[in-house]
Chain A
């Protein structure tokens, strides 16, 4: 057996995997749904297979099946998972425990949540190694420090003494990779390891992971929804949709010559053509020299920020987390009164504090948020949610209100039938559409969109962006579009403000901001956006002029 294994080099062989879960829809009897339909895959030692698809495609579920793990009530009901020559599904609970953390390790999407806040990093990094008795504590810690070094973490000797909250997100993600590598497993499951990071941090973590995989000869399942990211690290890519295999092939073939229509849609997703509009004669909203801080802190989150917004146009605000993008939105809406500077609207200054603004001013500025599901009252129907601004601002009630709600639903390409549904019964994209309809109902001049597509799958996000552009044409509404995603910016913006540590470092019409010569930060930001190109990562790392703030 060992001989054939060594010859074939086969590490993981999943055959006809079937995974099911029981769901409990409200008011209906529990029913069984199939999450993964008879998917098969093989992975050789030291190779990286990328699993890609939108949410609900079953990629995490398949990845976790290699450890015999099902999240929530998920059950593996059919097929075989052959790891190192044996079917692990036959090993029972003890068998799973022995292979988890030893043969197969897991790197989660949010390392910040996946580390226990109560323990020091080192204790958590060596825990699995000690548990399985593969090394003494001293050996394991030595190995961990070496891995910290390899993953280019700062102060590799002492970073293990820190607690998770004392380390940045990008660093934690690398510590988690070190934790997975520490027990010298045969296989690591990377579950969206860079999705929660800023682009500028993502590229560093991605490079660190890639180097570590190459140097330790560990095999990996790399799960992500971002094809450009997976193209940098994988030998092969498997495209999944609704728990079924769509296409499986070499990385080059998948991104250059996709054979399936769905793969093609994923490859060409970001291409929306948007003709830039020249700024008009006078802006209707200007932010002038605004400085703001939270509490009485000396740390200014916004420093002397000035931007203008023109009727019916889009100003995109880009920057990484902590750059002050959302704080700018809070200052404009009055949620965070600026310490200095003014916001003028239609030629008159707006009151600094939300409470001092008349209803009419409130109506003119609406917001859409990243998390559509928490921005809606789960106990109200879609009709009530969209109808609320109509009642509140215009006093429209009864049949007239229902008619307007139906009109708005039509505008966001959802039917009248949705009016009686609750938010929980909608998909992520539909929820965001309802939020858009709610903000449109107030007939505002400006809608502030705070990372509205960040939590959505690429194809769904694309649909939302197209809808927003469409609505802008029809309603002549302006957008302040906050995002960290430069591809989105290209598809929607007329002008762009690049923010870095509370300051606007670059500001102007889109074509001007996006053409050289660049300042160092804009250059870093632009060069960090993954491109669907093999070898992009190495090129980008080599060409960088400054290190990202996340490190």
Chain B
């Protein structure tokens, strides 16, 4: 009975893998188009033509592009992301800690933001077009409309400078106790929550309002259910698919779009790592981070697709 679902899920996963391969080609091609190459970057302006040629030979840069692409791809698949040019360090090792930090921050921001957005959405529907709805929508839209650096600095001004509740710089290190770590990420997590809240809230509201027009909502009202139970039991389960989509988009943003917030709070995550190495024109690092971001984005969207498929009773319980 689950065969149509399995088939759809397998299709989505296969598509995701294909898409990721296509993205890897684009990333590789993009970095190849840039003028200059790794050898030039390493040896600098004053390098002699001979030493350049030697290094190119040594790094295999004279091979055709597709061979270098497959060499790079093969490395990625076996966990070898290459070596950073600027520091000479192994990229995989330095990314590991950074990625974990980013995921940690994203996770706690999501834990607060997703339920909050959905509950606010439900409340907004319950009191639709009344002052509660307008207040929720207004505040959420305002917090989204401000640029994230502005929200970040406002938070820092009040919570770190004025009241000194949370640190303004989110330093974290290995072996840091959980409590301290949570305190360190409080402000960046709050900033991220405020940034993503409105989008999810508005989508929840719109998706449920759309369902509220249905005849089965009227049936529920005519059974004597209270307004909030009508929304929770009858409208919400049918509005899940679009809500999940928006939630996943925002989760992806929490991981791949946090560059500005990480820089403001000097948080040692992926975003800051990327920005540092873009300024140093460290191509292997940019490639690796780009690929990881793409993978996160694609897999979250696959999860959204699969969740939407599973949420559909017609697919879960075929005739």
Q: What is the chain B residue whose CB lies nearest that of A176?
A: B219
- The contact string, 1 if C-beta is below 8 Å from chain A, for chain B 308-319, is 000001100101
Q: What is the chain A residue whose CB lies nearest that of B217?
A: A116
Could you say which residues of chain A place their CB within 8 Å of the CB of B237? Answer: 116, 118-119
Inter-chain contact total with CB atoms closer than 8 Å: 73
**Cβ of A99 < 8 Å from any Cβ of B?**
yes
**Cβ of A42 < 8 Å from any Cβ of B?**
no
Which of B215, B216, B221, B313 has the most CB atoms of chain A within a 10 A radius of its CB?
B216
Q: What is the chain B residue whose CB lies nearest that of A167?
A: B319
Set A108, A128, A166: member contacting B319, Cβ < 8 A: A166
**Cβ of A481 < 8 Å from any Cβ of B?**
no
| B216/A114 in contact, CB under 8 A | yes
CA–CA, A185 and B22, complex, Å: 62
**Cβ of A102 < 8 Å from any Cβ of B?**
yes
**Cβ of B234 < 8 Å from any Cβ of A?**
yes
**Cβ of A106 < 8 Å from any Cβ of B?**
yes
Set B215, B221, B233: member contacting A100, Cβ < 8 A: B221
Could you say which residues of chain A place their CB within 8 Å of the CB of B223? Answer: 100-101, 105, 127-128, 131
| B238/A118 in contact, CB under 8 A | yes
| A102/B224 in contact, CB under 8 A | yes
Shortest C-beta distance, A124 to chain B (Å), equals: 8
| B314/A113 in contact, CB under 8 A | no
**Cβ of B276 < 8 Å from any Cβ of A?**
no
| B238/A116 in contact, CB under 8 A | yes
**Cβ of B220 < 8 Å from any Cβ of A?**
yes
- The contact string, 1 if C-beta is below 8 Å from chain A, for chain B 220-232, is 1111111000000
| A69/B221 in contact, CB under 8 A | yes
Set B214, B218, B224: member contacting A99, Cβ < 8 A: B224
| B222/A113 in contact, CB under 8 A | no
**Cβ of A473 < 8 Å from any Cβ of B?**
no
Could you say which residues of chain B place their CB within 8 Å of the CB of A131? Answer: 223-225
Size class of the contact patch on chain A: 20 to 34
- The contact string, 1 if C-beta is below 8 Å from chain B, for chain A 69-109, is 10100000000000000000000000011111110011010
| B216/A115 in contact, CB under 8 A | yes
Could you say which residues of chain A place their CB within 8 Å of the CB of B216? Answer: 113-117
- The contact string, 1 if C-beta is below 8 Å from chain B, for chain A 130-148, is 0110000000000000000
**Cβ of A110 < 8 Å from any Cβ of B?**
yes
Chain B binding surface, main DSSP class: helix
Could you say which residues of chain B place their CB within 8 Å of the CB of A101? Answer: 222-225
A163-B313, A163-B317 are contacts. A115–B219 as well, Cβ < 8 Å? yes
**Cβ of A151 < 8 Å from any Cβ of B?**
no
| B222/A117 in contact, CB under 8 A | no
CB interface residues, B 51-91, toward A, < 8 Å: none
A97-B226, A101-B224, A132-B224 are contacts. A114–B317 as well, Cβ < 8 Å? no
- The contact string, 1 if C-beta is below 8 Å from chain A, for chain B 141-184, is 00000000000000000000000000000000000000000000
| A108/B238 in contact, CB under 8 A | no
Shortest C-beta distance, A107 to chain B (Å), equals: 10
Shortest C-beta distance, B212 to chain A (Å), equals: 12
Could you say which residues of chain A place their CB within 8 Å of the CB of B221? Answer: 69, 100
**Cβ of A404 < 8 Å from any Cβ of B?**
no
| A97/B224 in contact, CB under 8 A | yes
Interface size for B (C-beta < 8 A) is: 20
Could you say which residues of chain A place their CB within 8 Å of the CB of B218? Answer: 71, 108, 114
A116-B238, A117-B313, A166-B319 are contacts. A128–B215 as well, Cβ < 8 Å? no
Could you say which residues of chain A place their CB within 8 Å of the CB of B215? Answer: 108, 110, 113-114
A117-B216, A166-B317 are contacts. A105–B222 as well, Cβ < 8 Å? yes
Shortest C-beta distance, A163 to chain B (Å), equals: 5
Set B220, B226, B314: member contacting A117, Cβ < 8 A: B314
CA–CA, A7 and B221, complex, Å: 33
| A113/B317 in contact, CB under 8 A | no
| B222/A100 in contact, CB under 8 A | yes
Could you say which residues of chain A place their CB within 8 Å of the CB of B319? Answer: 165-166
Could you say which residues of chain B place their CB within 8 Å of the CB of A106? Answer: 219, 222
CA–CA, A372 and B216, complex, Å: 25
CA–CA, A166 and B234, complex, Å: 19
Could you say which residues of chain B place their CB within 8 Å of the CB of A165? Answer: 313-314, 317, 319
Q: What is the chain A residue whose CB lies nearest that of B220?
A: A116
CA–CA, A106 and B319, complex, Å: 27
Q: What is the chain A residue whose CB lies nearest that of B238?
A: A118
CA–CA, A337 and B233, complex, Å: 44
Shortest C-beta distance, B138 to chain A (Å), equals: 25
**Cβ of A67 < 8 Å from any Cβ of B?**
yes
- The contact string, 1 if C-beta is below 8 Å from chain A, for chain B 269-285, is 00000000000000000
Q: What is the chain B residue whose CB lies nearest that of A99?
A: B224
Could you say which residues of chain A place their CB within 8 Å of the CB of B225? Answer: 97, 101, 127, 131
Q: What is the chain A residue whose CB lies nearest that of B319?
A: A166
Q: What is the chain B residue whose CB lies nearest that of A128?
A: B223
Could you say which residues of chain B place their CB within 8 Å of the CB of A67? Answer: 222
CA–CA, A117 and B315, complex, Å: 11
- The contact string, 1 if C-beta is below 8 Å from chain A, for chain B 293-319, is 000000000000000000001100101
Could you say which residues of chain A place their CB within 8 Å of the CB of B313? Answer: 117-118, 163, 165
Shortest C-beta distance, A23 to chain B (Å), equals: 18
CA–CA, A69 and B319, complex, Å: 35
Could you say which residues of chain A place their CB within 8 Å of the CB of B238? Answer: 116-118
CB interface residues, B 189-236, toward A, < 8 Å: 214-216, 218-226, 233-234
CB interface residues, A 287-323, toward B, < 8 Å: none
CA–CA, A56 and B221, complex, Å: 23
| B226/A113 in contact, CB under 8 A | no
Shortest C-beta distance, B109 to chain A (Å), equals: 29
Which of B215, B224, B319 has the most CB atoms of chain A within a 10 A radius of its CB?
B224
Could you say which residues of chain A place their CB within 8 Å of the CB of B234? Answer: 116, 118-119
Could you say which residues of chain B place their CB within 8 Å of the CB of A162? Answer: 317
CA–CA, A508 and B19, complex, Å: 58
CA–CA, A49 and B215, complex, Å: 24
| A98/B224 in contact, CB under 8 A | yes
Q: What is the chain B residue whose CB lies nearest that of A64?
A: B222
CA–CA, A100 and B230, complex, Å: 14
| B314/A128 in contact, CB under 8 A | no
CB interface residues, B 19-37, toward A, < 8 Å: none
Q: Pick the 10 closest A-B CB pairs, nearest first.
A: A101-B223, A100-B224, A113-B215, A118-B237, A128-B223, A101-B224, A116-B216, A106-B222, A97-B224, A114-B215
Beyond the given A69-B222, A114-B218, A117-B216, could you list 6 further A-B residue pairs with CB under 8 A, ordered by the A residue number?
Answer: A71-B218, A101-B225, A114-B219, A116-B234, A116-B237, A128-B224
Q: List A residues at the B interface (Cβ < 8 Å).
A: 67, 69, 71, 96-102, 105-106, 108, 110, 113-119, 124, 127-128, 131-132, 162-163, 165-166
8 A-B residue pairs with CB within 8 Å? A101-B223, A108-B218, A114-B219, A116-B220, A117-B313, A128-B223, A131-B224, A163-B313
